[in-house]
Amino acid sequence: MAKDKKLVESITSMQEDFAQWYTDVVKKAELIDYSSVKGCMIIKPAGYALWENIQHELDRRFKETGVQNVYMPMFIPESLLNKEKDHVEGFAPEVAWVTHGGQNQLQERLCVRPTSETLFCDFYKNDVQSYRDLPKVYNQWCSVVRWEKETRPFLRSREFLWQEGHTAHATAEEAQERTEQMLNVYADFCEQVLAVPVIRGRKTEKEKFAGAEATYTIEALMHDGKALQSGTSHNFGDGFAKAFGIQYTDPNNQLQYVHQTSWGLSTRIIGAIIMVHGDDSGLVLPPKIAPTQVMIIPIQQQKEGVLEKAGELCEALKGTFRVKVDDSEKSPGWKFSEQEMRGIPVRIEIGPKDIEKGQCVFVRRDTREKYQVAFEEAAGKMAELLDTIQSDMFERAKAHRDSHVSDAHNYDEFKSILEEKPGFIRGMWCGEQSCEDKIKEETAATSRCMPYEQEQISDVCVCCGKPAKKLVFWGKAY
Amino acid sequence: MAKDKKLVESITSMQEDFAQWYTDVVKKAELIDYSSVKGCMIIKPAGYALWENIQHELDRRFKETGVQNVYMPMFIPESLLNKEKDHVEGFAPEVAWVTHGGQNQLQERLCVRPTSETLFCDFYKNDVQSYRDLPKVYNQWCSVVRWEKETRPFLRSREFLWQEGHTAHATAEEAQERTEQMLNVYADFCEQVLAVPVIRGRKTEKEKFAGAEATYTIEALMHDGKALQSGTSHNFGDGFAKAFGIQYTDPNNQLQYVHQTSWGLSTRIIGAIIMVHGDDSGLVLPPKIAPTQVMIIPIQQQKEGVLEKAGELCEALKGTFRVKVDDSEKSPGWKFSEQEMRGIPVRIEIGPKDIEKGQCVFVRRDTREKYQVAFEEAAGKMAELLDTIQSDMFERAKAHRDSHVSDAHNYDEFKSILEEKPGFIRGMWCGEQSCEDKIKEETAATSRCMPYEQEQISDVCVCCGKPAKKLVFWGKAY
C-alpha cells in the first residue's frame, strides 16, 4: 500500500510550482516513465491509450477528407536532406546521425527523420508524372527524432510520436485549400474532442516552418498562462517541387511544378490536455478521449451483493461506455484518489445502503458534484452527464483562455501585462522581424500567430510605434 | 493510358520466375516502392491499408487476452544492448549505430532498436517491485531496423514494421502459458483472417531467438514450396531477469526473479499473403483482410443510367462491405485487369443489359467464376460469396500445403525430395546441431520447427542414422 500513499501525498500544487505539478501528474497518473535513453520517454499504458484514442479520432477525420496512409523509411540520406536550403538549415543542427551499419561505416551517413518532407519529395518526384496522378494526399503515423537539449515529457522530447501529412497538388489554390482544411481538422478535433479551445492563425516569417511559404497554427493556452502550439499546417508553394524536380504534365501537355503542403500533430497535444484541464488532484480527461470514462468503486465490497451489483451495473453500461470496476483490495478512499489522479471523468460509488435504496452515486471528476441515480436510469443519466462534462470542460477552458487575453497598445503596457497577467497578449505589429527579435530577447514572449480574425486595435506597432500592419497574438510559450 | 498497359503486360508468370513474379506483384499492385535509402521500402497506400487491417484485427485479439500497448524509445544505449550475452551476440552484427546528435559526438553510441527486449527489461527492473505488479503484458507497434545485406520487399528489409509483445510473470508456468497463448493467437489469425494455414511448433536450439530459452513458431508454405516463418513467440525463462536484475517480492516477502516472454509478427506476413494466394494475374486477397472487398465496374458507363445504378448498388452494399465504384475513364477491360492485379476479391460488372434484366454479375477473383445476381439479392449473395471465397482460399492453400509435405526416412530420400518436390520435409532428428549444420550446408534446407503434433515416422535421424529424438519439419525458407 506504500505506493498508493505516495501517489496521493506527493503531488505538488499548481499554485506552488506549476512545472513540478506537471511532472508529478505525468508520473503519478502513470502516463510516462523516464528511460535510460536521455531525453526519450517511455509512454506507459495510460498515456498510450490516450494517444490511441487521439489517433483513432484524427485518422477517421483525415480519411473523410480523402487522406491515405503510407509509411516512409525512418532514415534520410544526408544528400537528400540537403536538397532544400532553408529546410536543411532548420533541421540539420538537431538531427541524430547514423554512421555505421553493423561493423561497417556507411558510405553516406543517414539522419533519423526529424520530419519527412524530403522523403516524400523524393518519392513524388518519380510517382507523379501526369495531372491524372494528382492530388497525392498521403499521411504517416510514426516517430521522429530531434536532438533537443532541454526535454520535458510530451512537450519536448528527443523522440516523439506524431502524424505527418504530405500532399502534392496541381495548383497553388488547391494546396492553399488543403493547408487550411487540415488546420481546421486539427482545430475542430481539439475543440470538439479534447475540449481545448484554440486560436487559429498564421505564423510570422520568423516563426514559420523551415522551407515553408506559409505556416498556419492552432495555439492553446495552458493553465499557467503559457501558450502551446498544438498543430501546424504548412503551404510549401512550389519551393520543394523546384528543389526536388517534382513536375507533372498538365492536360495541355505542359510540364508544371506541383504545389505541396504538410501538416502535423504530435504527442505534445497530451501536454495540452494535462495543462488545460488538470487540477491539484491530477489529470482531468474529457470524456470523449478518456480511455476509461467511468470507474465503478464498490463501498464495503466484502458485504454480500455489493460486488455483484457493481458487476451488473458495469455490464449494463459496457455496451455504451468505457467502464471498469475497481474491485482491488485497496480502500475506497485510495481508489477515489487513484481515479481522480488518472482523470477518469465519472466514478460511481455503490455500497450496501445504495443497493437498499436501488440507487448508486455518480461523482463528476471535474466539479466533484454528486448525483444519486436509480439503477434503471444509470445508462441514460450517464450519457447525459458525460455530454455535460465534455461541454462544461470546453466552456470552462474557453472562459479561462478568454479571461487571459489582454490588449496591449504600447510596449510598456505589453511588458506590464506579461508580468502581471500571464496569457495571450493581443498587440499590433509593424511586420518587421526586428520587433519580434526585440520582444523575444527582452520579455521571452514570441509571436504566436496572426489570427484569422484580424482587428485593428491600434494604429501603431506595440513594440516600435511605427504604423501597424497586423494584429498578433503574443505570449510566452512551451 | 500507357501506364495501365504496362501494368497488365509486364507481369512475369510464377512458373517462369517466381522471384520476379513476386517483385512484379508488389510493384504492380502498388504495395510498395523502392526508396533512396538502400534496403528500405516505401509502403504505399494499398500496402499500408493491408497492414492497418492486420493491426486492427491482431490488436483486438491481443487486447482480449489482456495486452496493453505502450511505446518505448527507438534507441538502445550500447551498454544496455550488451547486458544479455546471447542477445547481443545475435543482434550486434546487424544494428545501425547513431554516433552523433546534431554537431556533437555522443558519449555513448546508441543503436536503433532491432528488437526491444533490453529496453523492456530496463523498464521492468524499476517498474516491477511486488507480486502485485505482475503480470506485465505489454506490446508496442513500431518499426525496427536490422542492417541486412540482401533485402526483398516485406520479406527482408532494413527497416520493417511489426508489433513486439514483452511480458513479465511471477512463475515459469505462467510465462510458458503466455508464450503458447500468443503463438495460438498468431496461428488463429493467420488461418482465420489471412486464410494462410500454418504449422505450429518449436524451434531447435540452433534456430531459436538470441537469448531465449525456447522459441515457438508458425511456419507457412509459399506457392514455390519455400517456407516462411510467419510469427514467433519466445519464452526467456528468467535469463533476462537475471542479466537485468528484475526481481519482485512474493507474498512471503521473498525476492524472486520474473519470468519473461516476447512475441512478434511483422509486415513480412504480407509476403505470405502474396505468395500463398497470388496468381499470374497478381494479388488475390482474402476478403477478411482486403482493404477493398468489392469493386463495381460499370460497362458502357457513358450510357444513361449505368453510373447511377452502379452508385445505387454501391450505396446498398456500403454499410456491410468495403466497396468502391471504378468510374474512371479507362476501359472496362483495363479496370478488370487492375482489380485483378490488386487482388480485390469480387468485382461486380454492371451494364445496360444487366440493368434491363434487373441484375448484375459477380466475378470471383480467386476462381473467376461468374454469377448473375438480381439487384435485390446483391447484399445477401455478397455476404455468402465472400464467406465462401474466404473458406475456399484457406482450403485451397491447405490442400497445396498438404500436398507439399513429404516424409523422408534417410538422407538420400531427403535430398531427392528437396530437388524433385519442393515443400516441407518431415524427417526425424537425433537432436544434434551437427546434423542441422550439415543439412543446411549441403542442401540449404533448415529445420523449420519441431511440430506440436509429434509422430515417430522412423527410429533414426534422417541425416546421421543415429537414434531419433524428434520429428522435425525441414525446408528451404525465406
Alpha-carbon distance B148 to nearest alpha carbon in chain A (angstroms): 9
In terms of Cα–Cα distance, which of A376, A437, A435 is closest to A408?
A435
B chain contacts of residue A161, beta-carbon cutoff 8 Å: 71
Residue B9: per-residue pLDDT: 62
Would the pTM of this model clear 0.90, i.e. be above it? yes
Beta B470-475 vs B424-429: how paired, if at all? antiparallel
Inter-chain CB proximity B48 and A35 less than 8 Å: no
Spatial distance between the Cα atoms of A447 and A471, rounded to a whole number of angstroms: 10
Inter-chain CB proximity B43 and A94 less than 8 Å: no
B chain contacts of residue A119, beta-carbon cutoff 8 Å: 35-36
A chain contacts of residue B43, beta-carbon cutoff 8 Å: 70-71
Spatial distance between the Cα atoms of B52 and A465, rounded to a whole number of angstroms: 55
CB-nearest to A122 from B36, B98, B127 is B36
Spatial distance between the Cα atoms of A285 and A266, rounded to a whole number of angstroms: 18
- Residue B394: phi and psi, rounded to 5, are -65, -45
CB-nearest to B33 from A40, A123, A158 is A123
Cα dihedral A97, A103, A108, A111, rounded to 10, equals: -20
Q: In this predicted model, what pLDDT tens digit does every residue of B417-435 receive, in sequence order? A: 999 999 999 999 999 999 9
Q: Which three cell numbers stand for residue A124?
A: 513524388
B chain contacts of residue A95, beta-carbon cutoff 8 Å: 101-102
* Element holding B472 (H helix, E strand): strand B470-475
Residue A265: per-residue pLDDT: 98
CB-nearest to A33 from B44, B45, B127 is B127
For residue A93, the 8-state DSSP code is G
The rounded mean pLDDT for chain B is 96
Spatial distance between the Cα atoms of B450 and B32, rounded to a whole number of angstroms: 34
C-alpha R_g of chain A:
25
Q: Nearest-CA residue of chain B relative to A137? A: B45
CB-nearest to B101 from A36, A138, A147 is A147
| B83, B98, B161, best to mutate vs chain A, most A CBs in 10 Å | B98
Residue A85: per-residue pLDDT: 87
Cα dihedral B246, B252, B254, B258, rounded to 10, equals: -20
A chain contacts of residue B71, beta-carbon cutoff 8 Å: 42-43, 48, 51, 143, 161
Spatial distance between the Cα atoms of A38 and A44, rounded to a whole number of angstroms: 17
Q: Are B54 and B273 in contact (CB under 8 A)?
A: no
CB-nearest to A44 from B40, B70, B102 is B70
Spatial distance between the Cα atoms of A22 and A29, rounded to a whole number of angstroms: 10
* Element holding B475 (H helix, E strand): strand B470-475
Inter-chain CB proximity A36 and B80 less than 8 Å: yes
CA A12 to the chain's CA centroid: 24
Spatial distance between the Cα atoms of A462 and A414, rounded to a whole number of angstroms: 7
For residue A236, the 8-state DSSP code is E
Q: Nearest-CA residue of chain A relative to B45? A: A70
CB-nearest to B37 from A110, A147, A159 is A110
CB-nearest to B71 from A48, A126, A127 is A48
* Element holding B78 (H helix, E strand): helix B78-81
Alpha-carbon distance B414 to nearest alpha carbon in chain A (angstroms): 36
Q: In this predicted model, what pLDDT tens digit does every residue of A274-296 receive, in sequence order? A: 999 999 999 999 999 999 999 99
Inter-chain CB proximity A100 and B100 less than 8 Å: no
Q: Are B176 and B235 in contact (CB under 8 A)?
A: yes
Alpha-carbon distance B51 to nearest alpha carbon in chain A (angstroms): 10
Q: Nearest-CA residue of chain A relative to B39? A: A73
Half-sphere exposure of B261 (CA within 13 A, CB side): 31
Which residue type occupies A195? A
Q: Tell me the pLDDT of chain B (478 aa) as tens digits.
A: 344 444 556 799 999 999 999 999 999 999 999 999 999 999 999 999 999 999 999 999 999 999 999 999 999 999 999 998 888 888 988 999 999 999 899 999 999 999 999 999 999 999 999 999 999 999 999 999 999 999 999 999 999 999 999 999 999 999 999 999 999 999 999 999 999 999 999 999 999 999 999 999 999 999 999 999 999 999 999 999 999 999 999 999 999 999 999 999 999 999 999 999 999 999 999 999 999 999 999 999 999 999 999 999 999 999 999 999 999 999 999 999 999 999 999 999 999 999 999 999 999 999 999 999 999 999 999 999 999 999 999 999 999 999 999 999 999 999 999 999 999 999 999 999 999 999 999 999 999 999 999 999 999 999 999 999 999 999 999 9
Alpha-carbon distance A43 to nearest alpha carbon in chain B (angstroms): 5
Inter-chain CB proximity B33 and A159 less than 8 Å: no
Inter-chain CB proximity B72 and A35 less than 8 Å: yes
Map grid coordinates 524433385 to a residue: B420
Inter-chain CB proximity B44 and A70 less than 8 Å: yes
Inter-chain CB proximity B73 and A35 less than 8 Å: yes
Q: Nearest-CA residue of chain A relative to B123? A: A35
A chain contacts of residue B122, beta-carbon cutoff 8 Å: 35-36
ipTM of the complex: 0.95
Q: Tell me the pLDDT of chain A (478 aa) as tens digits.
A: 344 444 556 799 999 999 999 999 999 999 999 999 999 999 999 999 999 999 999 999 999 999 999 999 999 999 999 998 888 888 988 999 999 999 899 999 999 999 999 999 999 999 999 999 999 999 999 999 999 999 999 999 999 999 999 999 999 999 999 999 999 999 999 999 999 999 999 999 999 999 999 999 999 999 999 999 999 999 999 999 999 999 999 999 999 999 999 999 999 999 999 999 999 999 999 999 999 999 999 999 999 999 999 999 999 999 999 999 999 999 999 999 999 999 999 999 999 999 999 999 999 999 999 999 999 999 999 999 999 999 999 999 999 999 999 999 999 999 999 999 999 999 999 999 999 999 999 999 999 999 999 999 999 999 999 999 999 999 999 9
A chain contacts of residue B103, beta-carbon cutoff 8 Å: 93
Beta A255-257 vs A247-249: how paired, if at all? antiparallel
Q: How many CB pairs under 8 A join A and B?
A: 151
Q: Which three cell numbers stand for residue A463?
A: 513594440
Which residue type occupies A377? E
Inter-chain CB proximity A68 and B45 less than 8 Å: yes
Inter-chain CB proximity B36 and A80 less than 8 Å: yes
In terms of Cα–Cα distance, which of A211, A227, A228 is closest to A269?
A228
Inter-chain CB proximity A37 and B75 less than 8 Å: yes
SS3 B89: helix
Q: Which residues contact B44 (CB under 8 A, 6 or more apart)?
A: A70, B30, B31, B32, B33
Q: Give A247's strand partners.
A: A257
Which residue type occupies B379? A
For residue B377, the 8-state DSSP code is G
A chain contacts of residue B141, beta-carbon cutoff 8 Å: none
Cα distance from N-terminal residue to C-terminal residue, chain A? 36
CB-nearest to A75 from B40, B68, B75 is B40
A chain contacts of residue B45, beta-carbon cutoff 8 Å: 68-70, 138
Q: Which long-range contacts (CB under 8 A, 24 or more apart) does B142-145 make?
A: B142/A143, B142/B71, B142/B72, B142/B74, B142/B113, B142/B116, B143/A71, B143/A74, B143/A142, B143/B74, B144/B112, B144/B113, B144/B114, B144/B115, B144/B116, B145/A74, B145/B95, B145/B96, B145/B112, B145/B113, B145/B114
